Structure 1
Amino acid sequence: MCALAAAWAVTFAAPAVSAAEPASAPVPAVAADAGTDYVALGSSFAAGPGIPPLQSSDGADACARSAVNYPSLVAREIGADLTDVSCSGATTGHVLRGPQGTRPPQLQAVTPDTRLVTVTIGGNDVNYLGSINAYSCQANGNSGCPTVDRGSIERTFPELPGRIADIVRAVHAVAPEARVHLVTYFTLLPDSGTCAVAPLTDEQAAYERSIAARLAAATADAAAATGATLVDLAGASRGHDACSANPWVESYRPAQGRSTYHPNEGGMRAAADLVHAALASGGVTQTAAFRSGIPGKCVDVRNAATADGTPVQLYTCNGTAAQRWTHVPGEGGTLRALGRCLDVTGGGTANGTKVQLWPCNGTDAQRWAPGPGSSLVNPRSGRCLDDPGSSTADGTQLQIWDCNGTAAQRWTPSAVPYVAQHAPA
């Protein structure tokens, strides 16, 4: 990966040969699995129980792991190689040391190649969901409701920051280069009061708010102690509680098949956006214009449209949103603009297959790795992003073609000032 990163930053001096004329020396191949190795650890608030569809990953059914949980969304949108071992019911012990049923400790999914780790954990250590469900059952007048052992919760809280910090340290012991992001839990209750779909007494609600606040603080303390990045989902989700007009979590009375007080699709989307913001602020992702070896031209989304199949074209560099591409420098993955991804049409691999804008879906048709001479290689096909015939005309739709080191395949990332409007195509 380091070699790829260096290659991306180098400007390759090559003769101005048409893309249809292969250079005499072949361009070295790029690894077919190019992309950031990402491991997701945690409990149900990462796994996403009740949100269809299930992942196809090992243990997804037993862990109630959704294909649209926040790790899945992030991985698809940055083109990462995701290993998601988050599991409903997991504690810090299940991440670090002990098996959870037949599943080994989640930490075993981390390897020396892992570069990104997200963690949402600690709620089950202090019975966060168990206690709010028990109190809601009691306040709802049901019989046979569980009791809440506050003594056990209070004894555990002083240990919780250290338990979470131990996970970060254990990750770094295996993967020293990994960026670890600690994602706090969603806020479940409004700042004051309750509602019919979150039935608790005032005293019970106050205690649940104290658990939530201390859980977020424990996660923040662990981040500060280890240098991990804190993703403050607890703060961001205030006002999106179970009683709100726009809830990011289910209520105590969710629709059939949904999990009480757990995140919904909107919540997972918001969590993914927060992780994206953290990746950008930490330099894991960058946004740039990709300038062609043809002077003055950039990779551009035609008319800044977002419809499926919008052509991605060559166009005069202008600094608009249609030319601002988010990527993971050096690691490979997606190129994302206007909330969608640069895609090889139909997943094609043949010379001349056009490229387009398409919803990010995690397929190999949307993977791009930095290659020699500032090329962008689609690992599935082994071919490079190419300006047909070394065209200089605005509106020329780009394609994939045998890598040949020409200016038509040189795409140099460059920071650009933001301009609000797109020039007419």
Structure 2
Amino acid sequence: MPGPHAKSRNADRRWARAMCAVGVALVLAVAAPATTAWARAQSGSAAASADAASGLGYVAMGSSFAAGPGIPPAQAGSKAAACARSAGNYASIVARETGADLTDVSCSGATTANVLTDGQSGQPPQVQAVTAATRVVTVTIGGNDVDYLGSVNAYSCQTGGGTNCGSVDRNAIDQTFPSLAGRIESVVDAVHSAAPQAQVYLVSYFTLLPDAGVCADVPLTDGQAAFERGIASRLADATATAASATGATLVDLAAAGHGHDACAESPWVETYRPAAGRSAYHPNEAGMAAAASLVESALKSHGQVGTAVFRSGITGKCLDVRNSGTAGGTQVQLYACNGTDAQRWTWVPGAGGTLRALGGCLDVSAGGSANGTTVRLRQCNGSGAQR
């Protein structure tokens, strides 16, 4: 049976053949993989390599903190509209930057029951989107089970002088928490049952409130703020417990979000009084970009995304972003191997993903297929020209 290096060479040949189809005379070999996890991924089954040929199978599930309501542009289609899904949510960003094949079934208002058993907005339970070919699943869920957004909005309305604010049933919230970790564990178990080879990433909720005090556009009393911080802490703990119990990977967005709350100078979430069209206390563009970065780091830790240098068959030459440029259209060239970031490419092991460096993706100009078509660095967009 061939070892991982042989499989790596086979992957390199496939990539080189694809590049030659657009007139790039390179015979490339992967050098200096960043982690041993990448090497382990390369030694996976032939079936896994076949699945990767059309991009990493990725299903995104969860509630509004995954869907991204109010962040433009919205995803196309009536189903996406019913769930207020954004094309700028963290799953969409990850898919564009890695070339993954994304099925996004996240839906605003979803509970763990909507993931597992109960349809929502005319759509089936979210877990039904997971198939045997799925390799990555991200989940942000549990907040609606314990009325996290509902309670903080109701309190803000009450304290901010609103009307018809609704009430907060603290007793019901407290009674639900003991079962919450188990509910999230059931979600992970259901994914593993449908897709035994999938890695599940539990993405915790954004941090909404500062560690102490509030601000004018977060109208809460001290007691209300303390209760909401308690919900946030218990929700993060339940997510971490479920990850530990099931072998899922915790993407600790809750911890990363401290200092990026609704009152912060660089917030990742909106205030109670956001701009028109935005959703109160929900993630903004900066928050979704940060969440996507955390998810991609987790993918790297599991070898589902790797970093490597691509060497030409011409001795001493590497695939290089000219002058380390980051502007769209920057030339990609062969250049003397020098170990700089301009020659370190993030990629998905196997066929079907992107090659990304300096924040951009290797792109076939105008999606051309004629001999001599150039390749350049452009903003990642998920198109076939960047696979």
Query: Is residue 321 of structure 1 aligned with residue 324 of structure 2?
Result: no
TM-score, length-scaled by structure 2:
0.87
Residue in structure 2 matching 1:8, options 8, 11, 21: 11
Query: Is residue 129 of structure 1 aligned with residue 149 of structure 2?
Result: yes
Point out where structure 1 has 5 or more consecutive residues left out of the alignment: 23-29, 368-425
Q: Which residue of 1 aligns with 2:30?
A: none
Query: Is residue 216 of structure 1 aligned with residue 236 of structure 2?
Result: yes
Q: Which residue of 2 aligns with 1:148?
A: 168
Query: Is residue 161 of structure 1 aligned with residue 181 of structure 2?
Result: yes
- Asked whether the equivalents of residues 63 and 87 of structure 1 are also in contact (C-alpha less than 8 Å), the reply is yes
Query: Any idea what SS the aligned residue of 2:330 has?
Result: coil
| Residue type at the aligned position of 1:8 | A
- Asked whether the equivalents of residues 53 and 351 of structure 2 are also in contact (C-alpha less than 8 Å), the reply is no
CA displacement, residues 32-85 of structure 1 (integer Å, 9 cap, x when unaligned): 962101000000000000111111255111100000000000000000000000
Query: Is residue 100 of structure 1 aligned with residue 115 of structure 2?
Result: no
Residue in structure 1 matching 2:303, options 269, 283, 289: 283
| Residue type at the aligned position of 1:281 | S
C-alpha deviation, 1:298, in angstroms: 1.0
Query: Is residue 39 of structure 1 aligned with residue 42 of structure 2?
Result: no
CA displacement, residues 88-134 of structure 1 (integer Å, 9 cap, x when unaligned): 00000000111113110000100100011100000000000000000
* Inter-partner Cα distance in structure 1 for 2:335 and 2:51: 30
Query: Any idea what SS the aligned residue of 2:241 has?
Result: helix
CA displacement, residues 2-42 of structure 1 (integer Å, 9 cap, x when unaligned): x9867226799x9xx9x98x9xxxxxxx9996210100000
- Asked whether the equivalents of residues 250 and 263 of structure 1 are also in contact (C-alpha less than 8 Å), the reply is yes
Q: Which residue of 1 aligns with 2:195?
A: 175
C-alpha deviation, 1:152, in angstroms: 1.0
Query: Any idea what SS the aligned residue of 1:225 has?
Result: helix
C-alpha deviation, 1:143, in angstroms: 2.5
- Asked whether the equivalents of residues 57 and 84 of structure 1 are also in contact (C-alpha less than 8 Å), the reply is no
* Inter-partner Cα distance in structure 1 for 2:330 and 2:137: 33
Residue in structure 2 matching 1:293, options 313, 317, 338: 313
Query: Is residue 345 of structure 1 aligned with residue 348 of structure 2?
Result: no
Q: Which residue of 1 aligns with 2:254?
A: 234
C-alpha deviation, 1:151, in angstroms: 1.2
Query: Any idea what SS the aligned residue of 2:113 has?
Result: helix
* Inter-partner Cα distance in structure 2 for 1:276 and 1:40: 14
Which one has the largest radius of gyration? 1
- Higher normalized helix content (fraction of residues): 2
Residue in structure 2 matching 1:62, options 56, 79, 82: 82
C-alpha deviation, 1:280, in angstroms: 1.3
* Inter-partner Cα distance in structure 2 for 1:144 and 1:237: 31
Q: Which residue of 1 aligns with 2:158?
A: 138
Q: Once structures 1 and 2 are overlaid, which stretch shifts more, 292-301 or 196-205?
A: 292-301
Residue in structure 2 matching 1:274, options 272, 291, 294: 294
Q: Which residue of 1 aligns with 2:209?
A: 189
* Inter-partner Cα distance in structure 2 for 1:184 and 1:258: 21
Q: Which residue of 2 aligns with 1:49?
A: 69
* Inter-partner Cα distance in structure 1 for 2:313 and 2:189: 44
C-alpha deviation, 1:317, in angstroms: 1.1
Query: Is residue 256 of structure 1 aligned with residue 276 of structure 2?
Result: yes
- Asked whether the equivalents of residues 299 and 312 of structure 1 are also in contact (C-alpha less than 8 Å), the reply is yes
C-alpha deviation, 1:295, in angstroms: 1.8
Query: What number of residue pairs does the alignment pair up?
Result: 354
- Asked whether the equivalents of residues 11 and 351 of structure 2 are also in contact (C-alpha less than 8 Å), the reply is no
C-alpha deviation, 1:320, in angstroms: 0.6
- Asked whether the equivalents of residues 5 and 331 of structure 1 are also in contact (C-alpha less than 8 Å), the reply is no
User: What aligned pairs does 1:362-373 form with structure 2 within 5 A after superposition?
Assistant: 362-367=382-387
Q: Which residue of 2 aligns with 1:412?
A: none
* Inter-partner Cα distance in structure 2 for 1:95 and 1:31: 25
Query: Any idea what SS the aligned residue of 2:10 has?
Result: helix
Query: Any idea what SS the aligned residue of 2:335 has?
Result: strand
C-alpha deviation, 1:141, in angstroms: 2.1
CA displacement, residues 170-227 of structure 1 (integer Å, 9 cap, x when unaligned): 1011111111100000000000111110000000000000000000000000000011
TM-score, length-scaled by structure 1:
0.80
* Inter-partner Cα distance in structure 1 for 2:346 and 2:301: 12
* Inter-partner Cα distance in structure 1 for 2:79 and 2:14: 45
Q: Aligned residues: percent identity?
A: 66
Q: Which residue of 1 aligns with 2:3?
A: none
CA displacement, residues 227-272 of structure 1 (integer Å, 9 cap, x when unaligned): 1110000000111111111111000000111100000011101111
- Asked whether the equivalents of residues 252 and 260 of structure 1 are also in contact (C-alpha less than 8 Å), the reply is yes
| Residue type at the aligned position of 2:292 | A
- Asked whether the equivalents of residues 118 and 181 of structure 1 are also in contact (C-alpha less than 8 Å), the reply is yes
Query: Is residue 75 of structure 1 aligned with residue 103 of structure 2?
Result: no
Closer, same or farther: CA 356–153 of 1 in aligned 2, 3 Å: same
